[in-house]
């Protein structure tokens, strides 16, 4: 079946806020006296906020109550949201604008699907909000990737069947979510070469729209 829509993950695919996330988690870890480094941070890619916190707390010497965990997650999010004020269209990753224009010319629908509740602000600050026909984010779902919920919500909002969608992801959990949704997947960046992805590329600058749609 021909592809009618491309669903993009946000962070690491259209815009990179990885360093913002890392700095926010590192600040929280330092304040709490928790061991944390870039290697640990790599495990957080494509994972929901509370799951990220659980990973960070694996090496903690004390236990945290649910309310304490919620407070920690909120604190980290405050640090992260503060850093987002520096975002602008200059932070759109290479190749993104060209790919989006090419899809528009071919009449292919575009959605952005992210597990982050901060996705609307990121899209607004980078000027990408108007580039998507539909969006789905952490405010719309109850289950984070690798659950397929966010991609299925995006497809429903586009009015397109899952089998007609191509997902673009840079995290293993996102590739797994795309497969669970019954969607084709282009894996880029750290996820390139994932066995569940039908197509891989270094980034969106390294692939053409025609190559994407031939998946």
Measured between its terminal Cα atoms, the distance across the chain in Å is: 10
Name the pTM for this structure.
0.85
Please name each of the domains of the chain with its CATH number.
5-16+89-213 (3.40.50.1000), 18-84 (1.10.150.240)
Give the Cα-Cα-Cα angle 64, 68, 69 (nearest 5 degrees): 75
Tell me the per-residue pLDDT of 158-213, one tens digit each, with 9 for 90 and over.
Answer: 999 999 999 999 999 999 999 999 999 999 999 999 999 999 999 999 999 999 99
Residue 144 CB-half CA count within 13 A: 16
Average pLDDT score, the chain: 94
- Say how far apart CA 44 and CA 23 lie, in whole Å: 13
165-169: strand order across its sheet: 134-136, 109-113, 5-8, 165-169, 184-188, 199-201
Other CB atoms closer than 10 Å to residue 30's CB: what's the count?
A: 10
Residue 176 confidence (pLDDT): 97
Rounded Cα distance between 160 and 209, Å, is 19
Q: Which residue numbers are catalytic?
A: 9, 11
């Amino acid at each position: 079946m021909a592809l009618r829509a491309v669903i993009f993950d946000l962070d690491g695919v259209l815009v990179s806020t990885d360093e913002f996330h890392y700095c926010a988690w590192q600040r929280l870890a330092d304040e709490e006296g928790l061991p944390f480094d870039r290697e640990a941070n790599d495990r957080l890619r494509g994972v929901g906020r509370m799951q990220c916190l659980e990973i960070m707390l694996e090496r903690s010497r004390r236990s945290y109550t649910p309310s304490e965990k919620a407070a920690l997650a909120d604190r980290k999010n405050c640090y992260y949201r503060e850093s987002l004020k520096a975002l602008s269209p200059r932070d759109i990753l290479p190749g993104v604008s060209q790919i989006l224009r090419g899809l528009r010319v071919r009449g292919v629908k575009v959605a952005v699907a992210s597990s982050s509740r901060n996705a609307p602000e990121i899209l607004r600050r980078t000027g990408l909000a108007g580039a998507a026909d539909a969006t789905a984010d952490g405010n719309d779902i109850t289950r984070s990737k690798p659950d397929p919920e966010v991609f299925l919500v995006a497809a429903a909002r586009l009015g397109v069947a899952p089998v007609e969608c191509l997902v673009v992801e840079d995290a293993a959990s996102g590739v797994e979510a795309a497969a669970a949704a019954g969607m084709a997947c282009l894996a880029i960046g750290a996820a390139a070469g994932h066995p569940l992805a039908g197509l891989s590329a270094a980034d969106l600058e390294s692939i053409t729209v025609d190559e994407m749609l031939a998946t």
